[in-house]
Structure 1
Amino acid sequence: MMKLERSGFFRRRVVEPVLQLLRMGATPQRLAWSIAMGVVIGINPLLGSTTVLALAFASVFRLNVVASQLGNHLVYPLELLLLPVFLRVGIAVFHSPGLPLEREALFHAVKRHPWDTTRLLWRWEWHALIVWLVFAVVVAPLLQMVLRPVLEHMLAKLHAEPTMEK
């Protein structure tokens, strides 16, 4: 059985759920893809969409929903940190007009030209989504290749553990 000394937050919230999935028969490869896709979807620049997108993606591609949601929710802080990065890279790649990220400038633009500002915000969002999509296509397989051996090792350790009978 697992040692109780190592019952930190990461172990309780990440390792134990993954071990439970492995115990229930999920394969390391399927779990690796599920977690990788959850992580990649979890950092997309369309705020508020990650849970539904991860759920839909897992359902369509028959991935493990629990593992994809675990990966998705683990990277939530990264989504907020990477949003300005995706926006700025999208602006640079597509040569869009610059972002008025200062509060006063943004409020002024919304008051004076609401329709133009809305169109510009949507353009930035689409460009950020395209940048994220390219990023996702590269990162998801790499993340899966890193996670698979880790999960295989966890499964081997799980099978090597003596089971305690009640």
Structure 2
Amino acid sequence: MANAFCRMGPWFHRKIVDPLLQILRRGAEPKQLAFSAALGISLGVFPICGVTVFLCGLAIAVLGSHCHAPTVMLANFIATPIELSLMVPFLRLGEVITGGPHFLLTSDAFKKVLTGQASKEVLQSILHALLGWLVALPFILATLHVLFLPCFKILVRKFSTVIPSSPKKPLSSHTEVRLKVRDV
């Protein structure tokens, strides 16, 4: 078991830590990074596998400069294991909202989905999971944004290599500007 963690360390560093450090060193605003990370994870837990990259790409296209594309995509990547673990809670939330029947998760139902023999109940359960995600989405996004904002303020301050520009102050009427001119 310890050997598996040793092998995962370099992978984790290469796939998550290094890209995050690159993002932080480029000097993005903490508010934009917090929103983008929250958005990437919120879209990354969409309960249909394989769709999250498309959703994140669409959000980036729609939001443009209001989000930081690399952060959205990195957060989406990080959210993959969370996506798998939230499918059932989203399904159950959708069932509660609609008052629909409780879908039994069996290996037979999974096999029908994989072989394309999905019954009406399976399709209905997918719709319930989508509804559960849609209802939870604003809460997930808002909560993550609030949690991430102080984190990114600290991280940007610590890792940013961009030197902040000094505030531009207009010269007051009392300030005298003298230029030295050298005789050549």
Say which SS state the counterpart of residue 150 (structure 1) adopts: helix
- Paired residue for 1:81? 85
Paired residues, number: 148
- Paired residue for 1:96? 100
Matched letter for residue 64 of structure 1: H
Please state which structure has a larger fraction of its residues in helix. Answer: 1
User: Alpha carbons of 1:159 and 1:75: their partners in 2 closer, same or farther (altered >3 Å)?
Assistant: closer
Q: Superposition RMSD on alpha carbons, in Å?
A: 2.7
Cα distance in 2 for residues equivalent to 1:13 and 1:44: 21
User: Alpha carbons of 1:120 and 1:148: their partners in 2 closer, same or farther (altered >3 Å)?
Assistant: same
The CA deviation at 1:134 is 1.8
1:72 aligned to which of 67, 73, 76: 76
The CA deviation at 1:67 is 0.7
- Paired residue for 1:140? 141
The CA deviation at 1:81 is 1.2
Unaligned runs of 5+ in 2: 1-8, 162-184
User: Alpha carbons of 1:130 and 1:27: their partners in 2 closer, same or farther (altered >3 Å)?
Assistant: same
User: Alpha carbons of 1:125 and 1:104: their partners in 2 closer, same or farther (altered >3 Å)?
Assistant: closer
Cα distance in 2 for residues equivalent to 1:17 and 1:61: 22
Flag the structure with larger Rg. Answer: 2
- Paired residue for 1:21? 23
Matched letter for residue 42 of structure 1: G
Q: TM-score, normalised by structure 1?
A: 0.76
Matched letter for residue 136 of structure 1: L
Give the 4+ runs in structure 1 shifted more than 6 A. Answer: 105-108
Aligned identity (percent) is 30
Q: How does 1:30-69 map to 2 (within 5 A)?
A: 30-62=32-64, 63-69=67-73
Asked if structure 2 preserves the Cα contact closer than 8 Å seen for 1:89 and 1:131, the reply is yes
Q: TM-score, normalised by structure 2?
A: 0.69
